[in-house]
A and B are shown apart, each in its own frame.
Chain A
Amino acid sequence: MDLITGLLTTAFLAGGVLALAAIGEVLAERVGVVNLGVEGLMAMGAVTGIAAVSATHSPVLGFLAALAVGALFGAAFAFATVMIKANQVLCGLALTLMGTGLAQTIGRGYSGMPAAATFQPITIPLLSDIPVLGKAFFSQNILIYLIYLILPIGLSYLMFYTRHGMNMRAVGENPAAADAAGISVNTMRFCYVTAGAALAGGAGAYLTLAFVPSWSDGVIAGRGWIAVALVIFAGYRPGMAALSGLLFGLITALGFVGQARGWPIAPAFLSMLPYLGTLGFIIVPVIAWQKMRRAMAAPAALGEPYYRNVR
């Protein structure tokens, strides 16, 4: 009982980083743009969060600042890939290198210091009395509710139940048809790529303000890449992205429990689990669930720039 509650608590907390970044990437990929810069955006968000909090002592301001920095870098990426139509893979990798390098340069002064203020857990009356789930979910910091409830539900509604959501998906599936129907492909792509990048920046701040909570050079540790992989696993759905974030939070939590209880496995191998797990989760479903393939398929125009005057 205690073990399960503890596992779930850590899983929600650890999975929040991946869930938030993955939801952001869903937004970008649904309009047809692969953003491989999530790792760098998270690094920038993480260091911005720490820097802003040490100046203002307000975690909320730190989080908002990270969103803004994520959006700024995302806008630069969107300008290159959507407006100029430069190669998305290269621009994404470039964003990862720039973000990681810049964040490490800025972060030198903050390295190893705990965050000046962090998001504190809030116990929700009544709901927190539910056995297991009450402690694990309804006694967490406020971002957890944003990540697991508000964003997935709100974005799922937006994407699948509104006209705007149809337009948005059309841009990712068939930009030429969307263009002909009067939707501005470039505007749609620019806005959602930028918004997705903002969430990636937020995910970085979540890491340094609610989860770790301090900055160090390797703090992102590939989480941005795992988030990109989770989007495939989640079938490009915000709700599934949040759930798969939670699933990976669980894997991380298992590693923590293993270390704490002294399982006879070297910590290095437990640290490998999320990466190997991610690899398994993007390969196994393709082979195992052939029938699900169409429902979980990537947007048809994913990764392809849209030129109005070509063909």
Chain B
Amino acid sequence: MAYRIQRLPSSTPLIAFAARVIAVVLALLVTALILAISGHDPIDLAGQVLSSSLLDSFGLQDLGVIFIPLMLTGLSVAVAQQIGAWNIGAEGQFYAGAFAATAIGLFIPAPDWLSLILMVIGGFAAGAIWILVPTLAKAYADVSELISTLLLNFVAALMVYYVATGPWHDRMTNSSTPKVGAEIPEFWGAIHWGFPIAIVFAIVLALVLSNTKWGYEVRLSGSNPSAAEYAGIPVRRHLIMVMLLSGAIAGFAGMLEVAGTVHRLQGGISNNYGYIGIMVAVLARGSLVGVIFAGAFMAFIQNSGIILQTQGLTTSAVLAMTGLILFLTAIGEELSYYRITRDKV
């Protein structure tokens, strides 16, 4: 009997999930090892993280607050993936949405409920506008969206930093705008109503993509554009719509962050959420419902970083660990296509 290693054209969800679990565990082990070498006690730290996030009501609320933007940026990236596009610019669209929401909240006098509705529309619109140029460039000139979406992140960050410290700055803080009037009411503790709205949003989108003709055409355009084109599906129109939707979702996340959590605009408000959103989408393997769980997991990782800051560790260490998880996940994803088979002689 001989054993053979074979690469199959597809991988099963179960094995892909197992590969992700292994990747995450390995990344955590490597991090623990590095922590141990640098003189920390990883088991003690893990205990602290668990007790002050999952076993503590305030900890759970913090987790929920981080979950909302992460799940939505993850959803944004995952939606673009349905049609085979990489939205690396969720960070910038997040800023754009936050920017628009703040502008509406600060400068358009309206009752709170109307103001919130305008902010939602503004957030969606700003995110879509922020991805418009990369979208059109991809659809009409075949310019890779990878770099074009990313470059605009820096522009958005500079723009938000400029208005928050310049023309819109608050006389007291100088580093942020004044408080935005309209607030999304709280749902549980510090968690606002954006939490259930975001989850319902993801489920509705997942249903639309799996159960409508439009969703089917989008998925087909993503997996085999030339076949879709041949079948008479307007691939380009779908591509433009889906990418704009992806941008709009990230913009919505930025809007929720301003109206629900931070209540003002400040430089760095996006906290790398756009980049970690990529991680969320990859962990979810393009499944829009999976994004909810992957978002919760990444929220836990990010929150752990914040807890560990009191132990002299930085958020950048968590960023590095996120990168390591992504790296190992990518390797695990590829390896999940392989099977070891036994030849019968």
User: Across the interface, do B152 and A279 meet the contact criterion of CB distance under 8 Å?
Assistant: yes
User: Across the interface, do B151 and A93 meet the contact criterion of CB distance under 8 Å?
Assistant: no
Q: From residue B8, how far is it (CB to closest CB) to chain A in Å? A: 11
The residue among A282, A287, A307 with the most chain B CB atoms within 10 A of its own CB is A282
Does A164 sit within 8 A of B, measured CB to CB? no
Chain B residue numbers with a CB within 8 Å of A309 are 7
**A interface footprint on B137-161 (CB within 8 Å = 1, 0 otherwise):** 1000111101110111111001101
Give the residues from 213 to 269 in chain A that come closer than 8 angstroms, CB to CB, to chain B: 217, 221-222, 225-226, 228-229, 232, 266, 268-269
User: Across the interface, do B151 and A222 meet the contact criterion of CB distance under 8 Å?
Assistant: yes
A221-B154, A310-B7 known; A266 and B323 CB under 8 Å? no
Residue of B nearest to A229 (CB): B147
Rounded to whole angstroms, the CA-CA distance of A102 and B331 in the bound complex is: 20
User: Across the interface, do B88 and A93 meet the contact criterion of CB distance under 8 Å?
Assistant: yes
Does B162 sit within 8 A of A, measured CB to CB? yes
User: Across the interface, do B320 and A98 meet the contact criterion of CB distance under 8 Å?
Assistant: yes
Rounded to whole angstroms, the CA-CA distance of A18 and B122 in the bound complex is: 36
User: Across the interface, do A85 and B334 meet the contact criterion of CB distance under 8 Å?
Assistant: yes
Chain A residue numbers with a CB within 8 Å of B321 are 101
Give the residues from 104 to 137 in chain B that come closer than 8 angstroms, CB to CB, to chain A: 133, 137
Please tell me the size bucket of the interface on B: 35 or more
Rounded to whole angstroms, the CA-CA distance of A84 and B335 in the bound complex is: 8
Q: From residue A296, how far is it (CB to closest CB) to chain B in Å? A: 13
The main secondary structure of chain A at its interface with chain B is helix
Does B25 sit within 8 A of A, measured CB to CB? no
User: Across the interface, do B162 and A97 meet the contact criterion of CB distance under 8 Å?
Assistant: no
User: Across the interface, do A100 and B319 meet the contact criterion of CB distance under 8 Å?
Assistant: yes
Q: From residue A73, how far is it (CB to closest CB) to chain B in Å? A: 11
Q: Which of B180-188, B237-245, B310-318 contacts A (4 or more CB under 8 A)?
A: B310-318
Rounded to whole angstroms, the CA-CA distance of A226 and B150 in the bound complex is: 10
Please tell me the size bucket of the interface on A: 35 or more
Does B86 sit within 8 A of A, measured CB to CB? yes
User: Across the interface, do B330 and A275 meet the contact criterion of CB distance under 8 Å?
Assistant: no
User: Across the interface, do A108 and B314 meet the contact criterion of CB distance under 8 Å?
Assistant: yes
Rounded to whole angstroms, the CA-CA distance of A105 and B142 in the bound complex is: 38
Rounded to whole angstroms, the CA-CA distance of A225 and B334 in the bound complex is: 25
User: Across the interface, do A105 and B162 meet the contact criterion of CB distance under 8 Å?
Assistant: no
Residue of B nearest to A89 (CB): B86
User: Across the interface, do A105 and B314 meet the contact criterion of CB distance under 8 Å?
Assistant: yes
Rounded to whole angstroms, the CA-CA distance of A116 and B283 in the bound complex is: 43
Give the residues from 295 to 318 in chain B that come closer than 8 angstroms, CB to CB, to chain A: 314, 316-318
User: Across the interface, do A279 and B133 meet the contact criterion of CB distance under 8 Å?
Assistant: yes
User: Across the interface, do B158 and A286 meet the contact criterion of CB distance under 8 Å?
Assistant: no
User: Across the interface, do B154 and A222 meet the contact criterion of CB distance under 8 Å?
Assistant: yes
Residue from A95, A104, A225 in contact with B316 in the complex, judged by beta carbons closer than 8 Å: A104
The main secondary structure of chain B at its interface with chain A is helix
Q: From residue A158, how far is it (CB to closest CB) to chain B in Å? A: 26
User: Across the interface, do B152 and A87 meet the contact criterion of CB distance under 8 Å?
Assistant: no
Does A276 sit within 8 A of B, measured CB to CB? yes
Rounded to whole angstroms, the CA-CA distance of A236 and B335 in the bound complex is: 31
Q: From residue B6, how far is it (CB to closest CB) to chain A in Å? A: 9
The residue among B148, B327, B333, B335 with the most chain A CB atoms within 10 A of its own CB is B327
Chain A residue numbers with a CB within 8 Å of B162 are 266, 268-269
Rounded to whole angstroms, the CA-CA distance of A217 and B143 in the bound complex is: 31
**B interface footprint on A43-77 (CB within 8 Å = 1, 0 otherwise):** 00000000000000000000000000000000000
Chain B residue numbers with a CB within 8 Å of A99 are 323
Residue of B nearest to A221 (CB): B154
A225-B150, A282-B147 known; A94 and B333 CB under 8 Å? no
Give the residues from 77 to 111 in chain A that come closer than 8 angstroms, CB to CB, to chain B: 80, 84-87, 89-91, 93-105, 108
The residue among B146, B152, B324 with the most chain A CB atoms within 10 A of its own CB is B146
Chain A residue numbers with a CB within 8 Å of B161 are 268
Q: From residue B71, how far is it (CB to closest CB) to chain A in Å? A: 19
User: Across the interface, do B143 and A93 meet the contact criterion of CB distance under 8 Å?
Assistant: no
User: Across the interface, do A282 and B148 meet the contact criterion of CB distance under 8 Å?
Assistant: yes
Residue of B nearest to A76 (CB): B327
Does B329 sit within 8 A of A, measured CB to CB? yes
Does A4 sit within 8 A of B, measured CB to CB? no
Rounded to whole angstroms, the CA-CA distance of A150 and B331 in the bound complex is: 36
Residue of B nearest to A96 (CB): B323
Q: From residue A97, how far is it (CB to closest CB) to chain B in Å? A: 3
A105-B314, A225-B150, A287-B141 known; A86 and B155 CB under 8 Å? no
Rounded to whole angstroms, the CA-CA distance of A282 and B133 in the bound complex is: 12
Chain B residue numbers with a CB within 8 Å of A100 are 316, 319-320, 323
Rounded to whole angstroms, the CA-CA distance of A272 and B155 in the bound complex is: 5
User: Across the interface, do A36 and B326 meet the contact criterion of CB distance under 8 Å?
Assistant: no
User: Across the interface, do A94 and B323 meet the contact criterion of CB distance under 8 Å?
Assistant: yes
A90-B326, A94-B327, A229-B147 known; A101 and B159 CB under 8 Å? no
Does A5 sit within 8 A of B, measured CB to CB? no
4 nearest A-B pairs in the assembled complex, by CB-CB distance: A101-B320, A97-B323, A101-B319, A98-B323
8 pairs from A and B in contact (CB 8 Å cutoff) = A91-B331, A94-B326, A105-B316, A217-B316, A232-B144, A269-B158, A282-B143, A287-B141
Interface residues of B (CB under 8 A from A): 7, 86, 88, 133, 137, 141-144, 146-148, 150-155, 158-159, 161-162, 166, 275, 278-279, 282, 314, 316-324, 326-327, 329-331, 333-335
Known: A102-B316, A272-B155. 9 other contacts (CB 8 A): A40-B323, A93-B88, A95-B327, A97-B320, A97-B326, A100-B316, A228-B147, A275-B152, A282-B137
Interface residues of A (CB under 8 A from B): 36, 40, 80, 84-87, 89-91, 93-105, 108, 217, 221-222, 225-226, 228-229, 232, 266, 268-269, 271-272, 275-276, 278-279, 282-283, 286-287, 307, 309-310
